[in-house]
């Protein structure tokens, strides 16, 4: 008899906890934003960033990159001054280290860059034309061979045009003439038949003389059978000055038959940052992201770093900076929230209210849990859901939440839980880091889903052990 009373007491308490959970769910609390990489993946694109080996020694920064990005560009490690400092003497250690870190974070890698006028050793610049051509082909062949099968793309040639659309008068251009770019692409294709080959440049983000020149080059390459797969728009932009023709520019390259990527996005401002400048920067990030997301064939966006802590801007443009989505302390700026929302996420604050469901009766003796299901945001055909799990009166080490979608909805990608579906039935289990909950403590997992006619809230059940 005494035991029955005790059990009834636990049930009542769990029910009470369920009510508490409902109250919390309805409160306008801050929720963790979904990582950009997950939001991007749900849209069939990538979100990338650049980092150097040195920056990856900063464990908090490394973790931020692993959380937000599913594409990585080595900041300096695949450039000529690192990879072939002396003729025929190759050094792939630093580049390999970035690839290893990226692989560990389940990121793909953009190779950057094979032929550029900058960060190229003097021995290359001092070669006579005949030897320079051979050195270029040898460099490309060896480096592309080394990374064959490991990269998504190569920036084969970087920054070969001037602002007026004429060829930059670099040592490459002056010694080898117009043909060197096509030769570089042919050598890269010979060394790796599968990697995507990109031409990459800055101030080519909107329509203008420089992007026209790149457009005409790509068009003639395609007509002549020179292998080229993509155009990289670096997008080193200035607050308040995102080109209005960015989307149109991206579209015209895609219409030619190549893909486009935004490869080095940052948006600088005169420092110090103010709330007003940060707000403008946020809408600028959204505008740049929207331009890419609006065009099928714009495959991804890479920012040139994530945090102002490691941006190249202040050293090259004194008095300017604050160009990236996270500040010096790795805290998200308004630009991050805007970017997150542009990708269909919530930013740091949910934009719509949530709808809880009835907590279920605990099973399995003293170990129990309740769950509430919420639609965080919803758009045509898609939605982001969040399920909060709260332990009952005893600590639990594992939990399982199940539901059946009432309107044929489906789950496409999930974070902080592992999900198995069977028809409309969904079973979500904790991962190894979030199964353990103290009495009354909670955790949450999220997912992206699709819906058709209706997006009704399912009843959820939670069991714990």
Write out the residues near ligand G2I by the rule CB under 6 A. Answer: 75-76, 118-119, 158, 234, 264, 312
Closer to ligand G2I by CB, 313 or 464: give it: 313
Beta-carbon contacts of residue 278 (< 8 Å; ≥ 6 apart): 322, 333, 334, 335
Beta-carbon contacts of residue 422 (< 8 Å; ≥ 6 apart): none
User: CB 94 → ligand G2I: shortest distance, Å?
Assistant: 10
Q: Which residue is nearest to ligand G2I (CB)?
A: 312
- What is the rounded CA–CA span in Å between residue 266 and residue 357? 42
Count of CA atoms in the C-beta half-sphere (13 A) of 188: 28
- What is the rounded CA–CA span in Å between residue 148 and residue 195? 7
Closer to ligand G2I by CB, 118 or 216: give it: 118
Active site residue 183: no
Active site residue 148: no
User: CB 234 → ligand G2I: shortest distance, Å?
Assistant: 5
- Spot the catalytic one: 84, 259, 264, 386: 264
Beta-carbon contacts of residue 200 (< 8 Å; ≥ 6 apart): 112, 113, 155, 157, 158, 159, 231, 232, 234, 263
Closer to ligand G2I by CB, 171 or 415: give it: 171
What are the φ and ψ backbone dihedral angles of 88, each rounded to 5 degrees? Answer: 80, 0
Beta-carbon contacts of residue 128 (< 8 Å; ≥ 6 apart): 175
User: CB 359 → ligand G2I: shortest distance, Å?
Assistant: 51
- What is the rounded CA–CA span in Å between residue 195 and residue 143? 13
Closer to ligand G2I by CB, 233 or 462: give it: 233
Closer to ligand G2I by CB, 96 or 378: give it: 96
User: CB 75 → ligand G2I: shortest distance, Å?
Assistant: 5
User: CB 389 → ligand G2I: shortest distance, Å?
Assistant: 42
- What is the rounded CA–CA span in Å between residue 197 and residue 104? 24
Closer to ligand G2I by CB, 96 or 395: give it: 96
User: CB 15 → ligand G2I: shortest distance, Å?
Assistant: 57
User: CB 76 → ligand G2I: shortest distance, Å?
Assistant: 5
User: CB 186 → ligand G2I: shortest distance, Å?
Assistant: 23
- Spot the catalytic one: 55, 84, 143, 159: 159
Closer to ligand G2I by CB, 80 or 343: give it: 80
User: CB 320 → ligand G2I: shortest distance, Å?
Assistant: 13
Closer to ligand G2I by CB, 158 or 463: give it: 158
Residue 376 and residue 448 in contact, taking contact as beta carbons nearer than 8 Å: no
Closer to ligand G2I by CB, 267 or 460: give it: 267
By annotation, the residues acting in catalysis are 159, 264
């Amino acid at each position: 008899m005494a035991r029955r009373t005790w059990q009834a007491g636990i049930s009542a308490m769990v029910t009470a906890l369920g009510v508490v959970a409902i109250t919390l769910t309805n409160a306008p609390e801050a929720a963790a934003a979904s990582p950009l990489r997950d939001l991007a993946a749900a849209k069939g694109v990538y979100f990338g960033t650049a980092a150097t080996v040195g920056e990856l020694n900063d464990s908090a920064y490394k973790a931020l990159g692993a959380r937000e990005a599913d594409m990585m560009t080595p900041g300096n490690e695949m450039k000529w001054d690192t990879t072939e400092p002396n003729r025929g003497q190759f050094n792939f250690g630093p580049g390999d280290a970035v690839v290893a870190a990226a692989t560990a974070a389940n990121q793909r890698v953009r190779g950057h860059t094979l032929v550029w006028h900058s960060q190229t050793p003097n021995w290359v610049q001092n070669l006579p034309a005949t030897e320079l051509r051979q050195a270029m082909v040898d460099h490309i062949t060896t480096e592309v061979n080394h990374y064959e099968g490991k990269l998504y793309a190569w920036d084969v040639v970087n920054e070969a045009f001037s602002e007026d659309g004429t060829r930059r008068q670099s040592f490459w251009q002056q010694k080898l003439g117009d043909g060197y770019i096509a030769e570089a692409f042919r050598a890269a294709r010979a060394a790796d038949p599968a990697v995507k080959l990109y031409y990459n440049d800055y101030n080519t983000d909107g329509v203008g003389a420089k992007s026209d020149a790149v457009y005409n080059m790509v068009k003639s390459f395609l007509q002549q059978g020179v292998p080229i797969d993509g155009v990289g728009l670096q997008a080193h932009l200035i607050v308040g000055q995102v080109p209005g023709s960015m989307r149109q520019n991206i579209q015209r390259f895609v219409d030619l038959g190549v893909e486009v990527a935004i490869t080095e996005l940052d948006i600088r401002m005169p420092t110090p940052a103010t709330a007003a400048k940060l707000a403008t920067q946020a809408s600028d990030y959204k505008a740049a992201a929207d331009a890419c997301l609006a065009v099928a064939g714009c495959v991804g966006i890479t920012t040139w770093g994530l945090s102002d802590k490691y941006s190249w801007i202040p050293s090259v443009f004194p008095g300017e900076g604050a160009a990236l989505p996270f500040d010096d302390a790795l805290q998200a700026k308004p630009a991050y929230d805007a970017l997150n929302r542009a990708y269909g996420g919530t930013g740091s604050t949910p934009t719509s209210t949530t709808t809880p469901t009835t907590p279920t009766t605990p099973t399995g003796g003293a170990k129990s849990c309740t769950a509430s299901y919420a639609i965080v945001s919803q758009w045509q055909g898609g939605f982001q859901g969040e399920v909060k799990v709260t332990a009952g009166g005893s600590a639990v080490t594992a939990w399982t939440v199940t539901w059946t979608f009432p309107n044929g909805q489906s789950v496409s990608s999930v974070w902080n839980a592992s999900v198995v579906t069977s028809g409309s039935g969904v079973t979500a289990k904790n991962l190894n880091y979030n199964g353990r909950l103290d009495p009354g403590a909670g955790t949450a997992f999220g997912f992206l889903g699709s819906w058709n006619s209706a997006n009704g809230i399912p009843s959820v059940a939670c069991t714990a052990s």
